[in-house]
Structure 1
Amino acid sequence: MAAPPDPDQPRTVQLAAAILQHTTSIESYLQQNGLPSPSFAPGAPPKLPLPPNVEQQLAAALGALDELNALLLGPMGWLLNQVGHAYDLCSLHALYRYKIPAQLAVGEEVSVAEIARRCDADEDAMARLVQHAVTNYLLVRPRPGHVAHSATSAMLANVPVLHDFIGNVCEDMWPSAHKVVPALAHTAWPGAAADGATAAKSGRPPNQTAHNLAEGTDVPFFETLKGDQERARRFASAMSMLQTMPGFEPTAALEAYDWGALGHGATVVDVGGSAGTFAVALTDKHPDLHVIVQDLPDVIDKARAELPARSADRVALQSHDFFTPQPVTSADAYFFRMILHDWSDDYCLRILRQLISALKPGARVVINDLSIPPPGATTLYEERQVRCKDIAMMAMFNSKERTMDEWTGLVAEADPRFRLRSVVQLPASPIGLIEFTWEPEPAPAVAEAAE
């Protein structure tokens, strides 16, 4: 545990001391377990392999470092720092678009002129972009005018799904970012200018987004994907990458909820379950469960080709649009993993209400989704990561990330017969797990004690 800060010291000194203390604890753990120290060298671990208690030290160190950076820069410096972020993705975008990591061999030192030649790009512009990438630790500069792989670029070269994830960010999401504010009052959309507050609260349609302004289209993002096979493939690959990130793995939801308590032979409906990644992991751990994965027909067709043979008798695949009535009646649990954050409140209410005709008394509805921490529960650095995801949801879908109170309020608004049963915040993760039960009969009145 970190020692409390000395109140007699300036805040900057307190933060510096905390950073030293937390970092020393992290390095001690790594050394004691024969693990390498953090490094920019190719082959460095993509993430420090830390147990939960040491992960907390890492979070505290990063939060203190972030605050110290803001204080030392001062208000003007910090403001200019924010302005600079508007261009930070340019060099990463160049690495993706020109496949620069794949142009280098690990251990090779290449001149920036040679990089431009290999990419068939303008030498001056490419040199400037590549050298900007160096300042973001995306490449290293072993000597003037030359670059080589960093740990990050080597990982991009060797992990195709990570390359797709960066492409999705740079080419699908980033172009929409600068249209978020203009989209708030776009006068061509009904109600946007006349009653912006009402529209924002109820949730604008998913085809009136910053994405729509950026791309000049009137269809939702997912419809845009249907018209571009390569883009759709990249998005699916990027989402599979997300499933491997710490705290987002299917195993996190497996450990946070007592699936065995559903009972032998229980049926779980994985609503919007995509290729069945979670369903396979769930039935591997609980082979007595039966899981029905539901998604749109083209997704289910692809899932059929990819479902492991070992899961064939435990996982069923079913085409279903969750904006229509739920066809599986009397299941024991209906599971929504990273689904509802793609939709505004109005659309989420429609999705949840489509369950009602299928629910039996005591059925569980389990929501596994991002949760914005309450103020003060984490450092501003950690909260910012989730807030950025929230803005991304606004830009792409007119949807949002929610606090736990917003999640519980949303389900209660869908129908008061959904009763909150449990709330779990996954450790070292922005994801929460919220469980409701369906209780169609009112709770029995409690007799007042006789006076």
Structure 2
Amino acid sequence: MMAEFLTQLANLISGSISAIKILCDQNNTPFPELDAPSFSPNSEAFRSYPEAAEAAKVAAAACLQLAAALVPPTDFVNHELIGVYKPVALRVCLEANVTEILREAGPEGLHANDIAGKCSLEPLKLGRNLRYLAAHHCYREISPNVFTNNRISSAMDTGKSVKDLKANPDSKYENCGFAAVCSHRLDFELKLGAVAWEALNDAEYGFSNEPDKTIFSKGFQTDLPFYQFLEQPSQRYRRHRFGYAMQGAAALEPSEMILKALDWNSLPDSAEVVDVGGGLGTATMPLVQKYPNLTAIIQDLPNVIEEGKKLWITKMPAALAAGRVRFEVHDFLSPQPIKDANVFLVKQILHNWPVGYTTRILRHLREAAQPNTLLVVIENITPYACRIPSGTVDNMTGAVDVKPAPEPLLSNYGGLSGTVYGMDMTMMWCFNAQEFTILQLKEILENTGWQLTRCTLIDARDNFLRSIVAVPI
């Protein structure tokens, strides 16, 4: 049985690699080299072919599962234990501008002594952090104590010169979305991880479902919820970095993603789409561009609304002037004032709130809904680590396209699903909230008067971000 299991994994790896090679050859698309000194979205062009992207995913998942099967259990657990040093070393190199220093040094690399001299760190200690990362394929040690970038380490590059980074450290992450995300997470989550067990084992914090009694609250010794904490004058740097991170994350989302969230042509002429907690209205901008008969009403708090108006005056002033876009001050934890909406759009809002608050948001929308009102929720859907029993999902109204990985892989592709589970942990730590499984979301919708009718993948880059369409019960 064990030999068959290993053979199945090996066959998945071999078959997937062959498929990638054939697809790359047929489309004259190179496969990116791990040791390439730089990274760019163009280097990932092969992933634009769905079959190649899926084959890469299957092969990588099979490799991870094969390693789990072959490594002694005690060694596997020990690898996980010492894995805590990886994010620590990443933070050292990220904040010390090591990637930018090595980019300027060129492919010949730079000795640890010289790298340390440029970032004012102790050479031996910095070199050991670099070697630890190089052992995990982030950076390369090309000769003893001489390091250079590779494709993975280059993903952290801000694109700025070392001179500029030293002269303007406060603006390091401006217009650098992914690097800002890395810095934010390595700062907050390392600190929160140190107190997570103590908070979860605490009768007050561990059982709390309030946004001001979280692992974050305990770690930063504050009574303020996460976003209010960032608004403090003392948190100016973290607040700006978080803003850059969110801008970068939004920029990575395909602009046409919202167009896949619903059959917008099915709406009546002059339909009203209410973007609940819509921020600056960037999500609805493609809708207004493509469907001139739609009216978008963007709701958020006063300071956000003012910034949104400025953006639309710059980007789409005619739509604003014609009333095709309206801004309305509204707190979504309060009763919904619009009673004749065709669509309530709730994009990546629910995952920031504990279940009690999520229930309140959805119930307010249900109370304001007409019989033909549609609810469109855009959220990450967390896959189970097991295969859902037959009929559990199929019996839902509509098509819920949760695609499992091929046997004998874990149905969620194992460690390759780490991003969505990491986001789920972040929501728990910072907000007592969560990224929902499909069955959890179905239950919450039903408890607030909505029936799930469709769950559709809208971002081809992963299998998590989905549009959930519901109708009043």
Q: Structure 1-normalised TM-score?
A: 0.86
What secondary structure, in the 3-state scheme, does the structure 2 residue paired with 1:369 have? strand
What secondary structure, in the 3-state scheme, does the structure 1 residue paired with 2:48 have? coil
Give 1:193-212 correspondences, 5 Å limit: 199=207, 204-212=209-217
Deviation at 1:250, TM superposition (A): 4.6
Asked whether the 8 Å contact 2:209–2:355 carries over to 1, the reply is no
Name which of structure 1's ranges 388-397 and 339-348 shifts more when overlaid on structure 2: 388-397
1:273 aligns with 2:278: yes
Query: Which whole-Å CA distance do the structure 1 matches of 2:137 and 2:307 have between them?
Result: 38
1:143 aligned partner, one-letter code: S
Asked whether the 8 Å contact 1:180–1:209 carries over to 2, the reply is no
- TM-aligned CA distance change 1:138 to 1:299, over 3 Å: farther
Deviation at 1:356, TM superposition (A): 3.8
What secondary structure, in the 3-state scheme, does the structure 2 residue paired with 1:402 have? coil
Deviation per residue, 1:148-198 (Å, 9 max, x gap): 2222333322271111111111112332123222212324x3xx5xxx6xx
Query: Which whole-Å CA distance do the structure 1 matches of 2:109 and 2:52 have between them?
Result: 36
Query: Which whole-Å CA distance do the structure 1 matches of 2:2 and 2:76 have between them?
Result: 26
1:419 aligned partner, one-letter code: Q
Deviation at 1:244, TM superposition (A): 4.3
Asked whether the 8 Å contact 1:183–1:208 carries over to 2, the reply is no
- TM-aligned CA distance change 1:179 to 1:87, over 3 Å: same
Quote the residue 2:201 is aligned against. Answer: 185
Query: Which whole-Å CA distance do the structure 1 matches of 2:8 and 2:40 have between them?
Result: 30
Give 1:205-354 correspondences, 5 Å limit: 205-227=210-232, 228-245=235-252, 248-307=253-312, 308-310=314-316, 312-313=319-320, 314-354=324-364
Quote the residue 1:444 is aligned against. Answer: none
Asked whether the 8 Å contact 1:112–1:146 carries over to 2, the reply is yes
Deviation per residue, 1:316-372 (Å, 9 max, x gap): 333321111223331111111111011121110111122244322211111110112
Quote the residue 2:371 is aligned against. Answer: 361
Give 1:54-133 correspondences, 5 Å limit: 54-104=52-102, 105=104, 106-107=106-107, 109-133=109-133
Quote the residue 2:164 is aligned against. Answer: none
Deviation at 1:391, TM superposition (A): 1.7
What secondary structure, in the 3-state scheme, does the structure 2 residue paired with 1:288 have? coil
Deviation per residue, 1:94-137 (Å, 9 max, x gap): 12222222223143521111111111122222222222232233
1:101 aligned partner, one-letter code: T
What secondary structure, in the 3-state scheme, does the structure 2 residue paired with 1:422 have? strand
1:435 aligned partner, one-letter code: V
- TM-aligned CA distance change 1:244 to 1:84, over 3 Å: farther
Quote the residue 1:21 is aligned against. Answer: 15
Deviation at 1:45, TM superposition (A): 4.4
What secondary structure, in the 3-state scheme, does the structure 2 residue paired with 1:399 have? coil
Deviation per residue, 1:188-230 (Å, 9 max, x gap): x3xx5xxx6xx4xxx6111111111111111111111111232
1:387 aligns with 2:421: yes
Query: Which whole-Å CA distance do the structure 1 matches of 2:114 and 2:328 have between them?
Result: 52
What secondary structure, in the 3-state scheme, does the structure 2 residue paired with 1:277 have? coil
2:177 aligned partner, one-letter code: V
1:263 aligned partner, one-letter code: P
Query: Which whole-Å CA distance do the structure 2 matches of 1:359 and 1:215 have between them?
Result: 40
Deviation at 1:44, TM superposition (A): 4.2
What secondary structure, in the 3-state scheme, does the structure 1 residue paired with 2:345 have? strand
Query: Which whole-Å CA distance do the structure 1 matches of 2:79 and 2:137 have between them?
Result: 17
* Identity, % of aligned positions: 25
1:31 aligned partner, one-letter code: D
- Aligned-residue RMSD, C-alpha: 2.3
2:283 aligned partner, one-letter code: F
- TM-aligned CA distance change 1:153 to 1:383, over 3 Å: closer
1:410 aligns with 2:426: no
Give 1:153-192 correspondences, 5 Å limit: 153-157=153-157, 158=159, 160-187=176-203, 189=204
Quote the residue 1:421 is aligned against. Answer: 453
- TM-aligned CA distance change 1:140 to 1:301, over 3 Å: farther
2:308 aligned partner, one-letter code: A
Asked whether the 8 Å contact 1:270–1:334 carries over to 2, the reply is yes
Equivalences, count: 418
Deviation at 1:430, TM superposition (A): 0.7
1:329 aligned partner, one-letter code: K
Deviation at 1:39, TM superposition (A): 1.3
Deviation at 1:315, TM superposition (A): 3.0
Deviation at 1:385, TM superposition (A): 3.7
1:172 aligned partner, one-letter code: F
Name which of structure 1's ranges 210-219 and 51-60 shifts more when overlaid on structure 2: 51-60
Quote the residue 1:449 is aligned against. Answer: none
Deviation at 1:8, TM superposition (A): 9.0
What secondary structure, in the 3-state scheme, does the structure 1 residue paired with 2:378 have? strand
What secondary structure, in the 3-state scheme, does the structure 1 residue paired with 2:128 have? helix
Q: Which runs of 5+ in 1 are unaligned?
A: 1-6, 440-451
Deviation at 1:295, TM superposition (A): 2.1
Deviation at 1:384, TM superposition (A): 4.2
Query: Which whole-Å CA distance do the structure 1 matches of 2:179 and 2:112 have between them?
Result: 21
Asked whether the 8 Å contact 2:177–2:249 carries over to 1, the reply is no
Query: Which whole-Å CA distance do the structure 2 matches of 1:107 and 1:356 have between them?
Result: 59
What secondary structure, in the 3-state scheme, does the structure 2 residue paired with 1:39 have? coil
What secondary structure, in the 3-state scheme, does the structure 2 residue paired with 1:433 have? strand
- TM-aligned CA distance change 1:12 to 1:235, over 3 Å: same
Query: Which whole-Å CA distance do the structure 1 matches of 2:116 and 2:242 have between them?
Result: 28
Quote the residue 2:466 is aligned against. Answer: 432
What secondary structure, in the 3-state scheme, does the structure 1 residue paired with 2:100 have? helix
Asked whether the 8 Å contact 1:243–1:250 carries over to 2, the reply is no
